[in-house]
Amino acid sequence: MAEYLDQFSNNAYTKHCGLWVQIFAFAVAKGLAERNNAELTLVKKEAEKKCQRHTLEGLKSIIDAATTPPWLKQAIRLALAGLQRREDIVTWLKSAADMEKNTLTVSPGKTQGYDNPVHLKITMGTALREVVGECLRSPLASPYLIHYKPKARRREQIDAKDHWTSVTPDYLTKEFSKARDAAHTYDHVPAGERPTFHEIRALGAWLYEQQKFPQEYIQALMGHADEKMTKHYQEGHDEKKIEYLEVGAELAF
């Protein structure tokens, strides 16, 4: 078993070793083995994945590429200007946008397990308002800002989603990677280090900084909690008690 595992590098090694441990745990439980022999093999740590940062030129080439689907172009621009996480991008409801008041609300999912969840009311700058408007004008009936029409509508896929037009976080990540490589944007970067959709948020924050927006502005838009923001958080789970922190998203690109 140790010789078999030696043929793999760190990440593959740990995955194969972990599977062996599970198999032998089952064997021990069923009386097929006296001990978990897999636990006697060497333990290795997974190598830390080091994704490189996006550049504005690189991301722009992905957006401009004919191979990038329109819905994905919108998701990229929404992430760049809105600074929200992947999970919040794909679950952003159309009802969150008020074009008359020029606001867009979001309750970042990562904060919803906190004692004081974050709720943002974003005043939209030109770039953000433009992409939100495009999403709202889509002829495809969907409750989500980011949505698409699947080529095949298999029953198991439909059942696994809230709406047949919705985009799952994993699908967004996969399709972005495909579009990135199809645009040949980062061909000079090793495949395992090419920036993913997740890194768009970091580029957006950096661009806000370059355009002289204060750190407090950027941190608030990203939904990062601090003591100054506490009074804006929800104290209970009653919808009526939600108090939105008003922030701006005025990145120009």
Q: Is there a single domain that holds both residue 121 and residue 35?
A: no
48 within a domain of the structure (yes/no): no
Residue 142 lies inside a defined structural domain of this protein: yes
Q: What angle do CA 162, 164, 165 make, to 5 degrees?
A: 100
What is the structure's pLDDT at 153?
64
Domain count, the chain: 2
Range of the domain at 8: 2-40
Looking at residue 54, what DSSP letter applies?
P
> Are 7 and 96 members of one domain?
no
Looking at the fold, whether 70 and 188 belong to one and the same domain comes out as yes
Q: Which residue has the tokens 């929200």?
A: 84
Q: What is the pTM of this model?
A: 0.73
CATH of the domain at 61: 1.10.443.10
* Rounded distance between C-alpha atoms, residue 169 and residue 172, angstroms: 5
Are residues 74 and 9 both part of a single domain? no
129 and 236 in a common domain: yes
Find the largest Cα–Cα distance for the chain: 70
- What is the spatial distance between Cα 72 and Cα 145, in angstroms, rounded to a whole number? 11
* 148 and 213 co-located in one domain: yes
Q: Are 60 and 32 members of one domain?
A: no
Mean pLDDT of residues grouped by 10 in the chain (253 residues)? 83 85 91 88 68 89 96 96 93 94 86 68 94 95 93 66 87 95 92 90 91 87 61 40 77 82
Q: Mark whether 106 and 228 lie in a shared domain.
A: yes
